[in-house]
Structure 1
Amino acid sequence: MTPGLGFRGEVVDFYHRYRHGYPPSVIDALVAAFTLTRADTVVDLGCGTGQLTIPIAHRVHAVVGVDPEPDMLTRARTAAAEQSVANATWVIGTDAELPALGRLFGAGSLGAVTIGQALHWMRPDELFRTLFPLVRVGGGVAVVTNGSPLWLQDTDWSRALRGWLEGWLDRDLGYACGTDTDSQLRYRAALSTAGFDVRETHLRYAAELDLEQLVGGIYSALPVDQLPPPDQRPRFAEQIRRALHPDQRFVEHVDVTLLIGIKNQPPGRRRSATSAV
Protein backbone atom coordinates (compact mmCIF):
# COMPACT_ATOMS: atom_id res chain seq x y z
CA MET A 1 0.00 0.00 0.00
CA THR A 2 1.37 3.40 -0.95
CA PRO A 3 1.38 5.99 1.86
CA GLY A 4 0.00 9.46 1.14
CA LEU A 5 -2.57 8.59 -1.53
CA GLY A 6 -4.26 11.98 -1.28
CA PHE A 7 -7.37 10.60 0.43
CA ARG A 8 -7.39 13.18 3.18
CA GLY A 9 -9.04 16.46 4.08
CA GLU A 10 -12.40 16.95 2.38
CA VAL A 11 -12.13 13.65 0.54
CA VAL A 12 -12.47 11.79 3.85
CA ASP A 13 -15.91 13.29 4.49
CA PHE A 14 -17.03 12.50 0.94
CA TYR A 15 -15.70 8.96 1.35
CA HIS A 16 -17.49 8.36 4.62
CA ARG A 17 -20.75 9.91 3.50
CA TYR A 18 -21.09 8.62 -0.05
CA ARG A 19 -19.23 5.30 -0.28
CA HIS A 20 -21.46 2.27 0.09
CA GLY A 21 -21.18 0.46 3.36
CA TYR A 22 -21.28 -3.32 3.55
CA PRO A 23 -24.66 -5.06 3.87
CA PRO A 24 -25.19 -7.26 6.95
CA SER A 25 -25.07 -10.31 4.68
CA VAL A 26 -21.40 -9.56 3.94
CA ILE A 27 -20.54 -9.50 7.64
CA ASP A 28 -22.54 -12.69 8.18
CA ALA A 29 -20.61 -14.38 5.36
CA LEU A 30 -17.24 -13.35 6.85
CA VAL A 31 -18.21 -14.54 10.33
CA ALA A 32 -19.38 -17.87 8.94
CA ALA A 33 -16.36 -18.38 6.66
CA PHE A 34 -13.84 -18.02 9.49
CA THR A 35 -16.10 -19.16 12.35
CA LEU A 36 -15.41 -15.86 14.08
CA THR A 37 -16.38 -15.59 17.75
CA ARG A 38 -16.09 -13.14 20.63
CA ALA A 39 -12.65 -14.62 21.28
CA ASP A 40 -11.20 -13.50 17.91
CA THR A 41 -9.11 -10.54 16.84
CA VAL A 42 -9.47 -9.27 13.25
CA VAL A 43 -7.24 -6.89 11.30
CA ASP A 44 -8.91 -4.73 8.63
CA LEU A 45 -6.15 -3.63 6.27
CA GLY A 46 -6.76 -0.45 4.27
CA CYS A 47 -9.70 0.28 6.55
CA GLY A 48 -10.51 3.80 5.35
CA THR A 49 -13.16 5.32 7.60
CA GLY A 50 -14.10 1.96 9.13
CA GLN A 51 -17.01 0.93 6.93
CA LEU A 52 -16.00 -2.73 7.19
CA THR A 53 -14.05 -2.50 10.46
CA ILE A 54 -16.90 -1.23 12.63
CA PRO A 55 -19.58 -3.81 11.74
CA ILE A 56 -17.03 -6.59 12.23
CA ALA A 57 -16.17 -5.15 15.65
CA HIS A 58 -19.71 -5.95 16.82
CA ARG A 59 -19.05 -9.65 16.23
CA VAL A 60 -15.53 -10.25 17.60
CA HIS A 61 -13.33 -9.58 20.63
CA ALA A 62 -11.24 -6.84 19.00
CA VAL A 63 -10.55 -5.35 15.58
CA VAL A 64 -7.56 -3.36 14.37
CA GLY A 65 -8.06 -0.94 11.49
CA VAL A 66 -4.89 -0.12 9.54
CA ASP A 67 -4.64 2.69 6.99
CA PRO A 68 -1.88 5.02 5.73
CA GLU A 69 -4.02 8.16 5.88
CA PRO A 70 -4.30 9.77 9.35
CA ASP A 71 -7.44 11.70 8.35
CA MET A 72 -9.19 8.46 7.44
CA LEU A 73 -8.38 7.00 10.84
CA THR A 74 -9.55 10.14 12.65
CA ARG A 75 -12.94 9.84 10.95
CA ALA A 76 -13.05 6.10 11.63
CA ARG A 77 -12.38 6.71 15.32
CA THR A 78 -15.23 9.25 15.41
CA ALA A 79 -17.58 6.84 13.62
CA ALA A 80 -16.73 4.09 16.10
CA ALA A 81 -17.46 6.39 19.03
CA GLU A 82 -20.77 7.42 17.44
CA GLN A 83 -21.76 3.75 17.32
CA SER A 84 -20.46 3.00 20.83
CA VAL A 85 -17.77 0.67 19.49
CA ALA A 86 -15.05 0.42 22.11
CA ASN A 87 -13.12 -2.63 20.87
CA ALA A 88 -11.57 -1.05 17.75
CA THR A 89 -7.97 0.16 17.56
CA TRP A 90 -6.73 2.37 14.74
CA VAL A 91 -3.16 2.12 13.42
CA ILE A 92 -1.40 4.26 10.81
CA GLY A 93 0.36 1.89 8.47
CA THR A 94 0.43 -0.10 5.25
CA ASP A 95 0.88 -3.72 4.25
CA ALA A 96 4.62 -3.08 4.67
CA GLU A 97 4.05 -2.86 8.44
CA LEU A 98 2.44 -6.30 8.67
CA PRO A 99 5.68 -8.12 9.62
CA ALA A 100 6.10 -5.76 12.59
CA LEU A 101 2.44 -6.11 13.55
CA GLY A 102 2.85 -9.85 13.23
CA ARG A 103 5.58 -9.85 15.83
CA LEU A 104 3.25 -7.90 18.09
CA PHE A 105 0.29 -10.26 17.63
CA GLY A 106 2.19 -13.54 17.43
CA ALA A 107 1.75 -16.62 15.27
CA GLY A 108 -1.78 -18.00 14.95
CA SER A 109 -3.27 -15.10 16.88
CA LEU A 110 -5.66 -13.60 14.31
CA GLY A 111 -9.08 -14.89 13.41
CA ALA A 112 -9.03 -13.08 10.08
CA VAL A 113 -7.54 -10.28 8.03
CA THR A 114 -10.01 -8.38 5.83
CA ILE A 115 -9.12 -6.16 2.88
CA GLY A 116 -12.04 -4.16 1.53
CA GLN A 117 -11.48 -2.63 -1.94
CA ALA A 118 -7.87 -1.73 -1.13
CA LEU A 119 -5.72 -4.64 -2.32
CA HIS A 120 -4.85 -2.87 -5.58
CA TRP A 121 -2.63 -0.52 -3.49
CA MET A 122 -0.72 -3.47 -2.00
CA ARG A 123 1.67 -6.30 -2.91
CA PRO A 124 -0.60 -9.36 -2.71
CA ASP A 125 1.97 -12.15 -3.11
CA GLU A 126 4.22 -10.86 -0.35
CA LEU A 127 1.27 -9.85 1.83
CA PHE A 128 -0.46 -13.24 1.78
CA ARG A 129 2.79 -15.06 2.59
CA THR A 130 3.23 -12.75 5.56
CA LEU A 131 -0.32 -13.29 6.77
CA PHE A 132 -0.41 -17.09 6.58
CA PRO A 133 1.46 -17.76 9.86
CA LEU A 134 -0.42 -14.97 11.68
CA VAL A 135 -3.93 -16.42 11.34
CA ARG A 136 -5.23 -19.36 13.33
CA VAL A 137 -6.31 -22.62 11.76
CA GLY A 138 -9.80 -22.07 10.33
CA GLY A 139 -9.15 -18.34 10.04
CA GLY A 140 -7.76 -16.58 7.03
CA VAL A 141 -7.89 -13.67 4.63
CA ALA A 142 -10.91 -12.09 2.93
CA VAL A 143 -10.56 -9.79 -0.07
CA VAL A 144 -13.87 -7.94 -0.38
CA THR A 145 -14.85 -5.90 -3.43
CA ASN A 146 -17.94 -3.75 -3.05
CA GLY A 147 -18.86 -3.05 -6.65
CA SER A 148 -16.93 -1.52 -9.53
CA PRO A 149 -16.26 2.22 -9.94
CA LEU A 150 -19.30 4.35 -10.81
CA TRP A 151 -17.94 5.03 -14.31
CA LEU A 152 -17.23 1.38 -15.21
CA GLN A 153 -20.68 -0.16 -14.94
CA ASP A 154 -22.88 -1.66 -17.62
CA THR A 155 -25.49 1.08 -17.79
CA ASP A 156 -26.04 4.00 -20.14
CA TRP A 157 -25.58 6.55 -17.37
CA SER A 158 -22.27 4.98 -16.28
CA ARG A 159 -20.89 5.00 -19.82
CA ALA A 160 -21.95 8.64 -20.22
CA LEU A 161 -20.30 9.48 -16.90
CA ARG A 162 -17.05 7.85 -17.95
CA GLY A 163 -16.99 9.77 -21.21
CA TRP A 164 -17.50 13.08 -19.46
CA LEU A 165 -14.99 12.38 -16.67
CA GLU A 166 -12.29 11.27 -19.11
CA GLY A 167 -12.69 14.57 -20.94
CA TRP A 168 -12.58 16.54 -17.70
CA LEU A 169 -9.56 14.68 -16.29
CA ASP A 170 -7.88 14.24 -19.69
CA ARG A 171 -7.02 10.60 -18.99
CA ASP A 172 -8.40 7.11 -19.43
CA LEU A 173 -10.55 5.71 -16.63
CA GLY A 174 -10.42 2.03 -17.52
CA TYR A 175 -8.68 0.91 -14.33
CA ALA A 176 -11.11 -1.17 -12.25
CA CYS A 177 -9.32 -0.90 -8.86
CA GLY A 178 -8.96 -4.65 -8.47
CA THR A 179 -12.60 -5.50 -9.21
CA ASP A 180 -11.89 -6.91 -12.69
CA THR A 181 -11.66 -10.62 -13.48
CA ASP A 182 -7.92 -10.63 -14.17
CA SER A 183 -7.13 -9.00 -10.81
CA GLN A 184 -9.40 -11.42 -8.97
CA LEU A 185 -7.66 -14.37 -10.64
CA ARG A 186 -4.27 -12.99 -9.59
CA TYR A 187 -5.44 -12.54 -6.00
CA ARG A 188 -6.87 -16.04 -5.98
CA ALA A 189 -3.60 -17.52 -7.25
CA ALA A 190 -1.58 -15.54 -4.71
CA LEU A 191 -3.76 -16.78 -1.84
CA SER A 192 -3.40 -20.37 -2.99
CA THR A 193 0.37 -20.09 -3.42
CA ALA A 194 0.65 -18.69 0.11
CA GLY A 195 -1.03 -21.83 1.47
CA PHE A 196 -4.68 -20.81 1.80
CA ASP A 197 -7.61 -22.88 0.60
CA VAL A 198 -9.60 -20.52 -1.60
CA ARG A 199 -13.30 -20.13 -2.22
CA GLU A 200 -15.45 -17.35 -3.55
CA THR A 201 -18.82 -15.98 -2.48
CA HIS A 202 -20.96 -13.52 -4.43
CA LEU A 203 -23.65 -11.15 -3.21
CA ARG A 204 -25.62 -8.49 -5.05
CA TYR A 205 -27.67 -5.48 -4.03
CA ALA A 206 -29.12 -2.42 -5.73
CA ALA A 207 -28.49 1.17 -4.68
CA GLU A 208 -30.47 4.11 -6.01
CA LEU A 209 -28.48 7.34 -6.30
CA ASP A 210 -29.55 10.91 -6.90
CA LEU A 211 -27.25 13.48 -8.51
CA GLU A 212 -25.82 14.62 -5.16
CA GLN A 213 -24.89 11.07 -4.20
CA LEU A 214 -23.40 10.41 -7.62
CA VAL A 215 -21.23 13.53 -7.51
CA GLY A 216 -20.27 12.80 -3.90
CA GLY A 217 -19.20 9.32 -4.95
CA ILE A 218 -16.96 10.82 -7.63
CA TYR A 219 -15.40 13.23 -5.12
CA SER A 220 -14.75 10.30 -2.75
CA ALA A 221 -12.57 8.67 -5.42
CA LEU A 222 -10.43 11.74 -6.21
CA PRO A 223 -7.20 12.71 -4.45
CA VAL A 224 -7.74 15.93 -2.56
CA ASP A 225 -5.61 17.94 -5.01
CA GLN A 226 -7.91 16.94 -7.90
CA LEU A 227 -11.19 18.06 -6.32
CA PRO A 228 -12.87 20.97 -8.07
CA PRO A 229 -12.56 24.16 -5.98
CA PRO A 230 -15.69 24.74 -3.86
CA ASP A 231 -16.88 27.65 -6.00
CA GLN A 232 -16.72 25.46 -9.13
CA ARG A 233 -18.62 22.48 -7.71
CA PRO A 234 -22.14 23.64 -8.63
CA ARG A 235 -20.97 23.98 -12.25
CA PHE A 236 -19.26 20.57 -12.04
CA ALA A 237 -22.51 18.94 -10.85
CA GLU A 238 -24.54 20.73 -13.53
CA GLN A 239 -22.20 19.54 -16.26
CA ILE A 240 -22.58 15.96 -15.06
CA ARG A 241 -26.36 16.36 -14.93
CA ARG A 242 -26.35 17.50 -18.56
CA ALA A 243 -24.01 14.68 -19.62
CA LEU A 244 -26.30 12.09 -18.04
CA HIS A 245 -29.61 13.68 -19.14
CA PRO A 246 -32.42 12.57 -19.14
CA ASP A 247 -31.58 10.37 -16.12
CA GLN A 248 -32.23 12.04 -12.77
CA ARG A 249 -31.86 9.02 -10.50
CA PHE A 250 -29.36 6.26 -11.08
CA VAL A 251 -29.68 2.61 -10.12
CA GLU A 252 -26.36 0.99 -9.29
CA HIS A 253 -26.32 -2.80 -9.27
CA VAL A 254 -23.52 -3.58 -6.84
CA ASP A 255 -21.75 -6.92 -7.17
CA VAL A 256 -19.92 -7.91 -3.99
CA THR A 257 -17.21 -10.55 -4.24
CA LEU A 258 -15.70 -12.18 -1.18
CA LEU A 259 -12.50 -13.96 -2.11
CA ILE A 260 -11.84 -16.05 0.97
CA GLY A 261 -8.60 -17.81 1.81
CA ILE A 262 -8.85 -20.25 4.73
CA LYS A 263 -5.92 -21.71 6.64
CA ASN A 264 -6.69 -25.39 6.98
CA GLN A 265 -4.66 -28.37 8.19
CA PRO A 266 -2.69 -30.05 6.86
CA PRO A 267 -1.31 -26.96 5.02
CA GLY A 268 -0.65 -28.84 1.79
CA ARG A 269 -4.26 -29.95 1.34
CA ARG A 270 -6.15 -27.21 -0.51
CA ARG A 271 -9.57 -26.96 -2.00
CA SER A 272 -11.06 -24.51 -4.45
CA ALA A 273 -14.80 -23.93 -4.63
CA THR A 274 -17.29 -21.31 -5.64
CA SER A 275 -20.53 -20.58 -3.79
CA ALA A 276 -23.25 -17.98 -4.03
CA VAL A 277 -25.61 -16.61 -1.41
Structure 2
Amino acid sequence: MTHATPSTFNSTLFDGAQQYYVHYRPKYPPELYDRIAQGFNLNGKGKLLDLGCGTGLIALALRDRFEQVIGLDPDPEMLKQAQQQADELGAKNIIWLERSAEQVNAPPNSFKLITIGRAFHWMDRSLIIDRSYDLLETGGGLVLLATHGEDPWTSQIPWKQDILAVVKQWLGDRRRAGQGWWVDPDPPHEELLRRSAFSLQVLYEAEFEQIWTIDSLIGYLYSTAFCLPSFFGDHRQSFEAEIQKVFLSHYPSGNHVEILKASALAGMK
Protein backbone atom coordinates (compact mmCIF):
# COMPACT_ATOMS: atom_id res chain seq x y z
CA MET A 1 0.00 0.00 0.00
CA THR A 2 1.01 3.61 -0.57
CA HIS A 3 0.16 6.89 1.11
CA ALA A 4 -3.04 8.47 -0.19
CA THR A 5 -1.41 11.78 -1.08
CA PRO A 6 -2.39 14.13 -3.93
CA SER A 7 0.30 12.65 -6.16
CA THR A 8 -1.13 9.13 -5.80
CA PHE A 9 -4.84 9.94 -5.55
CA ASN A 10 -7.13 7.98 -7.81
CA SER A 11 -10.81 7.19 -8.01
CA THR A 12 -10.42 3.84 -6.23
CA LEU A 13 -10.08 5.74 -2.94
CA PHE A 14 -13.86 5.47 -2.49
CA ASP A 15 -14.40 2.47 -4.74
CA GLY A 16 -17.83 1.05 -3.94
CA ALA A 17 -18.57 3.74 -1.34
CA GLN A 18 -20.35 6.25 -3.58
CA GLN A 19 -23.92 5.11 -2.96
CA TYR A 20 -23.30 4.99 0.78
CA TYR A 21 -21.75 8.46 0.65
CA VAL A 22 -24.97 9.90 -0.76
CA HIS A 23 -27.25 8.41 1.84
CA TYR A 24 -25.20 8.08 5.01
CA ARG A 25 -22.54 10.79 5.28
CA PRO A 26 -23.63 13.51 7.74
CA LYS A 27 -24.93 16.55 5.88
CA TYR A 28 -24.03 20.12 6.68
CA PRO A 29 -26.94 21.86 8.43
CA PRO A 30 -28.89 24.63 6.63
CA GLU A 31 -27.84 27.09 9.35
CA LEU A 32 -24.22 26.73 8.27
CA TYR A 33 -25.06 27.51 4.65
CA ASP A 34 -27.09 30.51 5.81
CA ARG A 35 -24.13 31.91 7.74
CA ILE A 36 -21.86 31.47 4.73
CA ALA A 37 -24.44 33.21 2.54
CA GLN A 38 -24.69 36.12 4.96
CA GLY A 39 -20.93 36.44 5.33
CA PHE A 40 -20.35 36.62 1.58
CA ASN A 41 -23.60 38.35 0.60
CA LEU A 42 -24.67 35.52 -1.67
CA ASN A 43 -27.58 36.87 -3.69
CA GLY A 44 -28.11 34.54 -6.63
CA LYS A 45 -25.39 36.12 -8.73
CA GLY A 46 -21.87 35.02 -9.61
CA LYS A 47 -20.33 31.57 -9.78
CA LEU A 48 -19.52 28.87 -7.25
CA LEU A 49 -16.65 26.43 -7.71
CA ASP A 50 -16.97 23.32 -5.54
CA LEU A 51 -13.69 21.37 -5.50
CA GLY A 52 -13.70 17.67 -4.65
CA CYS A 53 -17.47 17.92 -4.90
CA GLY A 54 -18.07 14.18 -4.50
CA THR A 55 -21.78 13.44 -4.68
CA GLY A 56 -22.62 17.14 -4.87
CA LEU A 57 -23.52 17.77 -1.24
CA ILE A 58 -22.35 21.41 -1.14
CA ALA A 59 -22.98 22.28 -4.78
CA LEU A 60 -26.60 21.16 -4.60
CA ALA A 61 -27.26 22.92 -1.30
CA LEU A 62 -25.89 26.25 -2.56
CA ARG A 63 -27.15 26.09 -6.16
CA ASP A 64 -29.93 28.66 -5.67
CA ARG A 65 -27.50 31.25 -4.32
CA PHE A 66 -25.52 31.49 -7.60
CA GLU A 67 -26.09 31.94 -11.30
CA GLN A 68 -23.85 28.97 -12.04
CA VAL A 69 -22.20 26.20 -10.05
CA ILE A 70 -19.25 24.09 -11.19
CA GLY A 71 -18.42 20.88 -9.35
CA LEU A 72 -15.09 19.10 -9.86
CA ASP A 73 -14.24 15.58 -8.76
CA PRO A 74 -11.91 12.89 -10.16
CA ASP A 75 -14.32 10.05 -9.31
CA PRO A 76 -16.85 9.39 -12.12
CA GLU A 77 -19.11 7.35 -9.84
CA MET A 78 -19.32 10.21 -7.37
CA LEU A 79 -20.29 12.55 -10.21
CA LYS A 80 -22.88 10.06 -11.44
CA GLN A 81 -24.54 10.18 -8.04
CA ALA A 82 -24.33 13.98 -8.06
CA GLN A 83 -25.99 14.21 -11.47
CA GLN A 84 -28.79 11.86 -10.42
CA GLN A 85 -29.56 14.06 -7.44
CA ALA A 86 -29.41 17.19 -9.57
CA ASP A 87 -31.89 15.64 -12.00
CA GLU A 88 -34.24 14.72 -9.15
CA LEU A 89 -34.10 18.28 -7.82
CA GLY A 90 -34.44 19.87 -11.25
CA ALA A 91 -31.14 21.71 -10.79
CA LYS A 92 -30.20 23.16 -14.18
CA ASN A 93 -27.35 25.51 -13.29
CA ILE A 94 -24.70 22.96 -12.25
CA ILE A 95 -21.86 21.67 -14.42
CA TRP A 96 -20.04 18.54 -13.24
CA LEU A 97 -16.45 18.06 -14.42
CA GLU A 98 -14.41 14.89 -13.96
CA ARG A 99 -11.05 16.22 -12.90
CA SER A 100 -9.01 16.80 -9.78
CA ALA A 101 -8.93 20.08 -7.92
CA GLU A 102 -5.32 20.55 -9.00
CA GLN A 103 -6.48 20.54 -12.64
CA VAL A 104 -8.86 23.48 -12.30
CA ASN A 105 -8.46 25.86 -15.20
CA ALA A 106 -10.27 29.19 -15.27
CA PRO A 107 -9.42 32.88 -15.73
CA PRO A 108 -8.58 35.01 -12.69
CA ASN A 109 -11.49 36.52 -10.75
CA SER A 110 -13.93 33.93 -12.12
CA PHE A 111 -15.70 32.91 -8.92
CA LYS A 112 -17.49 34.53 -6.03
CA LEU A 113 -16.96 31.52 -3.80
CA ILE A 114 -14.84 28.36 -3.82
CA THR A 115 -15.90 25.58 -1.48
CA ILE A 116 -14.15 22.40 -0.39
CA GLY A 117 -15.70 19.85 1.96
CA ARG A 118 -14.20 16.77 3.52
CA ALA A 119 -11.99 16.22 0.46
CA PHE A 120 -9.45 18.96 1.25
CA HIS A 121 -7.02 16.64 3.05
CA TRP A 122 -6.69 14.56 -0.14
CA MET A 123 -5.48 17.58 -2.14
CA ASP A 124 -2.26 19.53 -2.60
CA ARG A 125 -3.55 22.02 -0.08
CA SER A 126 -0.99 24.80 -0.50
CA LEU A 127 -1.39 24.74 -4.27
CA ILE A 128 -5.18 24.83 -4.02
CA ILE A 129 -5.16 27.74 -1.59
CA ASP A 130 -2.84 29.78 -3.83
CA ARG A 131 -4.83 29.05 -6.98
CA SER A 132 -8.11 29.75 -5.26
CA TYR A 133 -6.96 33.22 -4.30
CA ASP A 134 -6.28 34.03 -7.95
CA LEU A 135 -9.55 32.51 -9.15
CA LEU A 136 -11.70 34.50 -6.72
CA GLU A 137 -13.10 37.94 -7.31
CA THR A 138 -12.41 40.63 -4.71
CA GLY A 139 -14.77 40.16 -1.78
CA GLY A 140 -15.10 36.47 -2.50
CA GLY A 141 -13.70 33.65 -0.45
CA LEU A 142 -12.45 30.12 -0.02
CA VAL A 143 -14.61 28.12 2.39
CA LEU A 144 -13.53 24.80 3.95
CA LEU A 145 -16.50 22.86 5.33
CA ALA A 146 -16.32 19.98 7.78
CA THR A 147 -18.38 17.97 10.21
CA HIS A 148 -16.95 16.92 13.55
CA GLY A 149 -17.51 14.03 15.90
CA GLU A 150 -18.87 11.27 13.70
CA ASP A 151 -15.52 9.59 12.98
CA PRO A 152 -14.76 6.76 15.44
CA TRP A 153 -11.03 7.13 14.75
CA THR A 154 -11.02 10.55 16.41
CA SER A 155 -13.76 10.06 19.01
CA GLN A 156 -13.37 9.26 22.69
CA ILE A 157 -17.04 8.33 23.11
CA PRO A 158 -17.24 4.76 24.45
CA TRP A 159 -19.67 3.31 21.91
CA LYS A 160 -17.64 4.67 19.00
CA GLN A 161 -14.45 3.29 20.52
CA ASP A 162 -16.15 -0.10 20.67
CA ILE A 163 -17.19 0.20 17.03
CA LEU A 164 -13.63 1.14 16.11
CA ALA A 165 -12.37 -1.94 17.96
CA VAL A 166 -14.51 -4.10 15.67
CA VAL A 167 -13.14 -2.31 12.59
CA LYS A 168 -9.59 -2.86 13.81
CA GLN A 169 -10.23 -6.54 14.47
CA TRP A 170 -11.17 -6.94 10.83
CA LEU A 171 -8.84 -4.48 9.12
CA GLY A 172 -5.91 -3.93 11.46
CA ASP A 173 -4.82 -1.19 13.81
CA ARG A 174 -3.57 1.16 11.11
CA ARG A 175 -6.14 3.39 9.48
CA ARG A 176 -6.65 2.66 5.81
CA ALA A 177 -7.31 5.15 3.02
CA GLY A 178 -8.60 3.10 0.13
CA GLN A 179 -5.58 1.19 -1.14
CA GLY A 180 -3.29 3.44 0.89
CA TRP A 181 -2.80 4.58 4.48
CA TRP A 182 -4.25 7.62 6.18
CA VAL A 183 -1.85 10.48 6.94
CA ASP A 184 -2.96 13.33 9.22
CA PRO A 185 -2.83 16.72 7.48
CA ASP A 186 0.28 18.56 8.58
CA PRO A 187 0.13 21.44 9.17
CA PRO A 188 -3.60 21.79 9.93
CA HIS A 189 -5.86 23.51 7.41
CA GLU A 190 -6.16 26.56 9.66
CA GLU A 191 -2.41 27.10 9.71
CA LEU A 192 -2.09 26.87 5.92
CA LEU A 193 -4.88 29.39 5.45
CA ARG A 194 -3.30 31.69 8.02
CA ARG A 195 -0.06 31.72 6.03
CA SER A 196 -1.82 32.49 2.76
CA ALA A 197 -2.67 35.71 0.93
CA PHE A 198 -6.23 35.66 2.25
CA SER A 199 -6.59 38.76 4.39
CA LEU A 200 -9.22 37.56 6.84
CA GLN A 201 -10.30 34.28 8.37
CA VAL A 202 -13.77 33.65 9.75
CA LEU A 203 -15.08 30.47 11.40
CA TYR A 204 -18.78 29.70 11.11
CA GLU A 205 -20.23 26.91 13.23
CA ALA A 206 -23.59 25.18 13.65
CA GLU A 207 -24.86 22.13 15.47
CA PHE A 208 -27.05 19.41 14.01
CA GLU A 209 -28.67 16.13 14.98
CA GLN A 210 -27.22 12.89 13.71
CA ILE A 211 -29.59 9.93 13.99
CA TRP A 212 -27.73 6.68 14.38
CA THR A 213 -29.39 3.37 13.61
CA ILE A 214 -27.78 0.07 12.71
CA ASP A 215 -28.34 0.84 9.02
CA SER A 216 -27.05 4.41 9.20
CA LEU A 217 -23.98 3.36 11.19
CA ILE A 218 -23.03 0.58 8.79
CA GLY A 219 -23.81 2.85 5.85
CA TYR A 220 -21.57 5.54 7.30
CA LEU A 221 -18.71 3.09 7.78
CA TYR A 222 -19.05 1.89 4.18
CA SER A 223 -18.94 5.51 2.99
CA THR A 224 -15.44 6.01 4.38
CA ALA A 225 -12.09 5.35 2.77
CA PHE A 226 -11.03 3.38 5.88
CA CYS A 227 -13.90 0.88 5.79
CA LEU A 228 -14.85 0.25 2.18
CA PRO A 229 -17.34 -2.58 1.66
CA SER A 230 -14.89 -4.27 -0.71
CA PHE A 231 -12.46 -4.80 2.19
CA PHE A 232 -14.70 -7.53 3.59
CA GLY A 233 -15.30 -9.62 0.49
CA ASP A 234 -17.76 -12.42 1.20
CA HIS A 235 -17.66 -11.75 4.95
CA ARG A 236 -19.67 -8.52 5.03
CA GLN A 237 -22.60 -10.10 6.84
CA SER A 238 -20.34 -11.30 9.64
CA PHE A 239 -18.77 -7.86 10.00
CA GLU A 240 -22.19 -6.19 10.01
CA ALA A 241 -23.46 -8.65 12.63
CA GLU A 242 -20.60 -7.69 14.95
CA ILE A 243 -21.26 -3.98 14.43
CA GLN A 244 -24.93 -4.55 15.17
CA LYS A 245 -24.14 -6.46 18.35
CA VAL A 246 -21.89 -3.69 19.68
CA PHE A 247 -24.32 -0.90 18.81
CA LEU A 248 -27.27 -2.70 20.44
CA SER A 249 -25.20 -3.34 23.56
CA HIS A 250 -25.09 0.45 24.00
CA TYR A 251 -28.50 1.34 22.56
CA PRO A 252 -30.91 -1.61 22.78
CA SER A 253 -33.62 0.38 21.00
CA GLY A 254 -31.41 0.46 17.89
CA ASN A 255 -31.62 4.25 17.79
CA HIS A 256 -29.39 7.01 19.12
CA VAL A 257 -29.55 10.76 18.48
CA GLU A 258 -26.25 12.61 18.74
CA ILE A 259 -25.55 16.33 18.56
CA LEU A 260 -22.61 16.98 16.23
CA LYS A 261 -20.97 20.16 15.02
CA ALA A 262 -20.33 21.45 11.53
CA SER A 263 -17.91 24.22 10.67
CA ALA A 264 -16.92 26.43 7.76
CA LEU A 265 -13.48 28.02 7.82
CA ALA A 266 -13.49 30.95 5.41
CA GLY A 267 -10.65 32.94 3.93
CA MET A 268 -11.78 36.26 2.45
CA LYS A 269 -10.10 38.00 -0.46
TM class, shorter-length: 0.7 to 0.9
Within 1, Cα distance between the matches of 2:139 and 2:10?
31
Name structure 1 gaps, 5 residues minimum.
Answer: 264-277
1:200·1:259 contact (CA, 8 Å) conserved in 2?
Answer: yes
Residue 174 of structure 1 deviates from its aligned partner by: 9.8
2:52·2:117 contact (CA, 8 Å) conserved in 1?
Answer: yes
Which residue is equivalent to 1:192? Answer: 194
Deviates more, 1:215-224 or 1:61-70: 215-224
Change (3 A) 1:120 1:148: farther
Picking from 239, 262, 265, the partner of 1:259 is 265
Picking from 41, 51, 57, the partner of 1:51 is 57
- Aligned residue pairs total 252
Change (3 A) 1:147 1:168: same
Within 1, Cα distance between the matches of 2:238 and 2:53?
32
Residue identity in the other structure for 2:235 = Q
Which residue is equivalent to 1:211? Answer: 214
> Residue by residue, what CA displacement relative to the aligned partner does 1:154-200 show, whole Å, maximum 9, x if unpaired?
3221111111111111133499x89x8x86x7322322322111121
Deviates more, 1:11-20 or 1:186-195: 186-195
Deviates more, 1:146-155 or 1:199-208: 146-155
Within 1, Cα distance between the matches of 2:112 and 2:64?
14
Alignment TM-score, normalising by the size of structure 1: 0.83
Name structure 2 gaps, 5 residues minimum.
Answer: 1-5
Which residue is equivalent to 1:132? Answer: 133
Q: How does 1:140-159 map to 2 (within 5 A)?
A: 140-151=141-152, 152-159=154-161
Change (3 A) 1:45 1:14: same
RCO (CA 8 Å, sep 6+): is it higher in 1 or 2? 2
Q: How does 1:1-277 map to 2 (within 5 A)?
A: 1=6, 2-8=9-15, 10-98=16-104, 101-102=105-106, 106-151=107-152, 152-173=154-175, 186-196=188-198, 197-222=200-225, 226-229=230-233, 232-244=235-247, 245-247=249-251, 248-263=254-269
Residue 70 of structure 1 deviates from its aligned partner by: 0.4
Q: Which runs of 4+ in 1 moved over 3 A?
A: 222-227
Change (3 A) 1:150 1:186: closer
Within 1, Cα distance between the matches of 2:12 and 2:77?
11
Residue identity in the other structure for 2:238 = R
Within 2, Cα distance between the matches of 1:126 and 1:88?
25
1:107·1:135 contact (CA, 8 Å) conserved in 2?
Answer: yes
Within 2, Cα distance between the matches of 1:252 and 1:5?
31
Alignment TM-score, normalising by the size of structure 2: 0.86
SS in 1 for 2:17: helix
Within 2, Cα distance between the matches of 1:5 and 1:47?
16
